[in-house]
């Protein structure tokens, strides 16, 4: 009777773990795949930033648009805010006083270095993020979103502003670096 109870418990554990293992695996795969995408996005964005001549960094398509350099640094600001503040709980930088992720008096190379550093910090944060917290919900500009959705929104945001930067290159007669899938 005692052995039957042990066999029943072990069988129950095995059956239940077969249901939950794929769920945990999917979450692990999500982070792994997201980090691969973010790393590829970093490489492509830096290539774009390096290709644009420094004297074109102030270019704007329209007076109300952000400049090439403002788009670049805005991507850094958004990565920092989405990961470190929104998902990580760190107090957000004060846009009016914090100059680390603003153009300020930075050269082209200093901006590229800052973006690269911000990608590194974001990648490290996400790599160490507790996957059990991906389903946590938070307010995202009035919408109730999971932290998984916030990561997807961040990827979209990077792509959106990088696309504007590519258009700025074309408007200046430059051929952007070739797009590589899954950036």
And the tokens for 108?
A: 């082209």
Q: Which of 181, 182, 179 is nearest to 48 (CA)?
A: 179
CA atoms within 13 A on the CB side of 128: 9
In the chain, the domains with their CATH numbers are 32-54+62-181 (1.20.120.450)
Contact 87, 129 (CB under 8 A): yes
At 25 the pLDDT is 46
pLDDT tens across 84-139, in order? 999 998 998 888 888 999 999 999 999 999 999 999 999 999 999 999 999 999 99
Which parts of the chain are beta strand (E)? 137-140, 143-146
The Cβ of residue 76 has, within 10 Å, a number of other Cβ atoms equal to 23
Nearest to 88 by CA among 31, 38, 126, 143: 126
Token pair for 102: 């603003």
- Give pLDDT tens digits for 18-57: 555 544 444 579 999 999 999 999 999 999 999 999 999 9
CA–CA separation, 94 vs 139, rounded Å?
19
């Amino acid at each position: 009777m005692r052995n039957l109870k042990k066999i029943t418990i072990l069988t129950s554990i095995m059956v239940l773990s077969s249901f939950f293992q794929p769920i945990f695996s999917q979450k692990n795969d999500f982070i792994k795949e997201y980090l691969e995408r973010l790393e590829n996005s970093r490489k492509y964005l830096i290539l774009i930033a390096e290709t644009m001549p420094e004297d074109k960094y102030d270019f704007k398509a329209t007076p109300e648009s952000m400049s090439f350099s403002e788009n670049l640094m805005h991507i850094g600001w958004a990565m920092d805010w989405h990961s470190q503040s929104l998902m990580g709980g760190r107090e957000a930088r004060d846009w009016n006083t914090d100059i680390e992720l603003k153009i300020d008096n930075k050269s082209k190379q200093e901006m590229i270095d800052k973006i690269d550093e911000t990608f590194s910090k974001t990648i490290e944060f996400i790599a160490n993020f507790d996957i059990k917290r991906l389903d946590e919900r938070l307010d995202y500009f009035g919408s109730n979103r999971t932290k998984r959705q916030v990561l997807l929104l961040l990827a979209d945001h990077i792509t959106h502003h990088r696309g504007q930067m590519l258009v700025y290159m074309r408007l200046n007669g430059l051929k952007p670096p070739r797009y590589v899938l899954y950036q």
